[in-house]
Structure 1
Amino acid sequence: MTDILTWFLEPISHGFMSRALVATLISASVCALLSCWLVQIGWSLMGDAVSHAVFPGVVFAHLIGVPFALGAFIFGAGAVGLIGALQSRTTLKSDTTIGVVFTSLFALGIAVNSVFPSQVDLNHILFGNILGVGVNDLLLVAVVGVLCGGILLLKRRDLTLFAFDPVQAHTLGIPVRRLRFLLLLVLALVVVITLQTVGIILVVAMLIIPGATALLVSGRMARILPIAVLSALVSSTVGVYAAYYLNASVGGVVVLTQAALFMLALLVGPRGGLSPTHLRSRRAAHTSRLGAAQTMDA
């Protein structure tokens, strides 16, 4: 028993590890909350776009000597606004506008970083540097994380109705355009605080997998939200401890653990495509359709 307790407490006895654990838990939990609505609305690509679009913001921030979070947020919010403008003023489909914006901004960051070399470590931007989180970084993650989480929870009913039926939400007097802007603003903020945890490349997984996993377990948002957050907490803890004992990448292990939980939900979850309950319901629906077709033919 003592050995188990020592194994559990040893990593967090170091300041940098305890800060890494807290920062990962906060950022992953907020990502998980947000993912529930992003997946339901069909905005998974939007998370990918914002995560890549912040790269030039980080580069410019280092060049002019301002906090990288400020530059990342400006470019993330700018990308969201640009995508929205293209979608409303052109006939292009949403996936096309998203692809054009995020690849262009990401290329801008690469070009600027190559022309004006700075002290930016591309590996830290792409894959995160959670073990380098300082006290000020942790404070930023905590403040922004609590702010974004509070907004999502306070607006959860409106967001859920908007996700499932935006037309009905508009009919009931919910300001859909304002709600859409709020959700995208929260997305930009969440991406900024998650950069140091898992980096640009893997943040999109944290904005998709927890919500997708929860949707395979339940169809009610009141259950989807805690399930998504629980999966994020488990994967974050596993990731940080793996980084300490196995010298593994925190972001990589976090996302792999989330992927494993997704596969588990897919196999045994009541709404999973391969679960016995789901297969029986599909067979019953297929049989019902066949019976209806035969009745119409008769």
Structure 2
Amino acid sequence: MYPLDLLLDPLQYTFIRRALLVTVVASVVCAVLSCWLVLIGWSLMGDAVSHAVLPGVALSYLLGAPFAIGALIFALIAVGAIGIVRNTTAVKEDAAIGVVFTTLFAFGVVLISKFPSQIDLNHILFGNLLGVSEGDMWQVIVLGGLALAVMIVKRRDFTLFAFDRTQARAVGISPSVLSGLMLTLLALTTVVALQAVGVILVVAMLITPGATAYLLTQRFGQMLLLAPAIGIGCAIVGIYVSFYLDVSSGGTVVLAQGTVFTLAYLFSPSQGIVTRRLRRPADIVA
């Protein structure tokens, strides 16, 4: 088989084209948001929201409603509950996140155990990329496009918020409003990514591209370009690998992202472990 055939053969299937489109859209949206999440230190928040949507998805299955609706509702509930506990008690943010997301996740587990025959557990946990319908595809495109548009419009404000909240307040930007908007975007982006990789792997898409870009550059503007480029590349590689090896599509996409992060961790020009050790003898001689 020629290399061109390896690239073109999978594209003759409609389900592969849809999977590619959905994964690329989800990867780009998650990657852009991940840049700010990494800088602010909200990685655990992404983990919390991705797990807290489980009962919403389970209830949607039971009621026959689009699962995105239930997921978005419970994502917003999780974000709001974490904010309320954090702002009205002496409990620190990490503890508030832990309490809220484990409680909601446990609620989802109870629902699934109560109605196991009516809920597609594999779809919820691991996504269903190769079974994406045309309606699901447009749902991801619309929600992803909305989230990405807001991030592009507010990118300067989000960046100032991430680097210096005092300065943001000084120029008339409300940190609390931006925080709420970013958390809402986190909830929306989680719903977008759920269709691609499921509850368990969403957090990887929300963190890994931004963390990888952070290792590769010290300029935030370049991070915002590198992260989605990494996401797109890993999405394409992951789908093709899953097609030819007949393995989980969501799993291979996230595994590709983890592989790129590992390479950046080892060989990044400025921060790579191997790169710094190779430079050390030269520094000593100089």
The TM-score with structure 2 as length reference comes to 0.94
Aligned length: 282
Task: Give 2:53's aligned residue.
Answer: 54
For structure 2, the residue ranges without an aligned partner over 5 or more in a row are none
In the TM superposition, residue 65 of structure 1 has moved relative to its aligned partner by 2.1
Q: Which whole-Å deviations, capped at 9, do the CAs of 1:57-106 have from their partners, x for residues lacking one?
A: 01111222211110110000010000000110111111111111111001
**Is the alpha carbon distance of 1:280 and 1:231 closer, same or farther for their aligned partners in structure 2, counting shifts above 3 Å?**
same
SS of the residue 2:273 aligns to: coil
Aligned equivalents of 1:276 and 1:28: distance in 2?
Answer: 28
Structure 2 distance, partners of 1:206, 1:223, is 19
Inter-CA distance 273–87: structure 2 relative to 1 (3 Å threshold): farther
2:110 equivalent to 1:80: no
Please identify, of 79-88 and 144-153, the stretch whose mean Cα deviation from structure 2 is larger.
144-153
Instruction: Return the letter of the residue paired with 1:11.
Output: P
Call closer, same or farther: CA 1:275–1:117 in 2, change over 3 Å. Answer: closer
**What is aligned with 1:121?**
120
- What's 2:70 paired with? 71
Instruction: For residues 224-278 of structure 1, give each alpha carbon's deviation from its aligned partner in whole angstroms, at most 9, with x where no partner exists.
Output: 0111011101110011101111101111111111111112112221332415469
Q: Please state whether the residue corresponding to 2:2 is helix, strand or coil.
A: helix
Shift of 1:114: 2.1
Deviation of residue 124 (structure 1)? 1.2
State whether residues 29 and 229 of structure 1, in contact with CA within 8 Å, keep that contact through their aligned partners in structure 2.
Answer: yes
Is the Cα contact below 8 Å between 2:129 and 2:195 reproduced in 1? yes
Structure 2 distance, partners of 1:260, 1:114, is 34
Give, in angstroms, the shift of residue 167 of structure 1: 1.5
2:100 maps to a residue whose letter is: V
CA RMSD, Structure 1 to Structure 2 (Å): 1.8
Unaligned runs of 5+ in 1: 285-298
Higher Cα radius of gyration: 1
Structure 1: which amino acid aligns with 2:169?
A: H
* Residues in 1 aligned to 2:43 and 2:150: alpha-carbon distance in whole angstroms: 20
Tell me the equivalent position of 1:258.
Answer: 257
**Quick one: distance in 1 between partners of 2:277 and 2:70?**
46
Amino acid at match of 1:28: S
Q: Counterpart amino acid of 1:105?
A: L
What SS does the aligned partner of 2:173 have? coil
1:173 equivalent in structure 2: 172
**In structure 1, what is the equivalent of residue 222 of structure 2?**
223
Q: Is this contact kept in 1: 2:213–2:226, CA < 8 A?
A: yes
| SS of structure 2 residue aligned to 1:207 | helix
Residue of structure 1 equivalent to 2:136:
137
State the distance in 2 between where 1:103 and 1:47 align.
13
Q: Distance in 1 between matches of 2:16 and 2:45?
A: 31
Question: Aligned partners of 2:174 and 2:54: how far apart in 1?
Answer: 31
Is the alpha carbon distance of 1:90 and 1:279 closer, same or farther for their aligned partners in structure 2, counting shifts above 3 Å?
A: farther
Mapped to 2, the partners of 1:252 and 1:67 lie a distance apart of: 23
CA distance in 1, matches of 2:218, 2:157: 17
Kindly state the Cα deviation for residue 24 of structure 1 after the two structures are TM-superposed: 0.3
Deviates more, 1:112-121 or 1:251-260: 112-121
